[in-house]
Amino acid sequence: MKIFIDTANVEEIREVSTWGFIDGVTTNPSLIAKEGRDIVDVIKEITTLIDGPISAEVHEGLAKDMVKEAIPYAKMHKNIVIKLPMTIEGLKACKELTSKGIKTNVTLVFNLTQAVAAAKCGATYVSPFMGRLDDITLGTGAALIEDIATVFATYEYKTQIIAASIRNVEHVNQALLGGADVATIPFKVLKEMLNHPLTTKGLVIFADASKKK
């Protein structure tokens, strides 16, 4: 499974880019707004930090307007993936961008049929939101990842699943076990993934032992 960072904070991206296991970046309007910067500048800067897929989200609206907004992003860098909302207009835009060879990520996916519709429109990625589903009914995030993975394998859809709205390490475990192709993970959870109390304790034991030598 590939691991993306879910942030628009360039300092976080700069730091994780040195860790060796980050494969890409996803952003969304809320994350960009948090940074208080121009979205185009942020996306441009991210392309210099990570050599992997970078999702840039267009504004929800008519397909023609989303396509128009998407083209300059796609021209900006080969790694740009256009993030589109899971709406009928978003699907139309997905189909058109796909026909132009532009990569897409259909976001705000909350059920299997939305994922299948996006796959049929040629989406490179679909983003089911684990955390927001679990906010309503615990366990439904993991179940959706499994269901989409099963159906995409059965019908041989090439679309990749990005497990999104990841709030904790358990969501990452569920994405791994459920067959997600990618998990996009906030900086805080990426750090938590690498911690275990026994690792910390083990380091203390080893350090004490070497002092006693």
Exposed, middle or buried, 120 (CB in 10 Å: 0-12/13-18/19+)? middle
The correct pick among 98, 132, 147, 179 for binding ligand G3P (CB under 6 A) is 132
Amino acid at 117: A
131, 145 in Cβ contact below 8 A? no
Give yes or no: 83 in active site: yes
* 164 in contact with ligand G3P (CB under 6 A): yes
Residue in 78, 83, 103, 158 annotated catalytic:
83
Question: What is the enclosing helix (H) or strand (E) of 108?
Answer: strand 104-109
Q: Which is nearer to ligand G3P, 17 or 26 (CB)?
A: 26
Q: Which is nearer to ligand G3P, 114 or 184 (CB)?
A: 184
Contact residues for 140 (Cβ-Cβ < 8 A; gap 6+): 133, 134
The correct pick among 26, 104, 160, 174 for binding ligand G3P (CB under 6 A) is 26
Q: Which stretch binds ligand G3P (CB under 6 A): 13-21, 112-120, 129-137, 203-211?
A: 129-137
* 129 in contact with ligand G3P (CB under 6 A): yes
Residue 127 CB, nearest distance to ligand G3P (Å)?
Answer: 6
Contact residues for 139 (Cβ-Cβ < 8 A; gap 6+): none
Site string for ligand G3P, 84-123 (x = CB under 6 A): ----------------------------------------
Q: Which is nearer to ligand G3P, 32 or 102 (CB)?
A: 32
Residue 193's CB: how many other CB atoms inside 10 A?
Answer: 17
Q: Which is nearer to ligand G3P, 124 or 184 (CB)?
A: 184
63-99 per-residue burial string, b: 16 or more CB within 10 A, e: under 16: beebbebbeebbeeeebbbbbbbbbebbbbbbbbbbe
The Cα–Cα gap between 57 and 80 comes to 10
Please give the residue ranges that form the binding site for ligand G3P (CB under 6 A): 6, 26, 28, 127, 129, 131-132, 164-165, 167, 184
Give the residue numbers marked as catalytic.
83
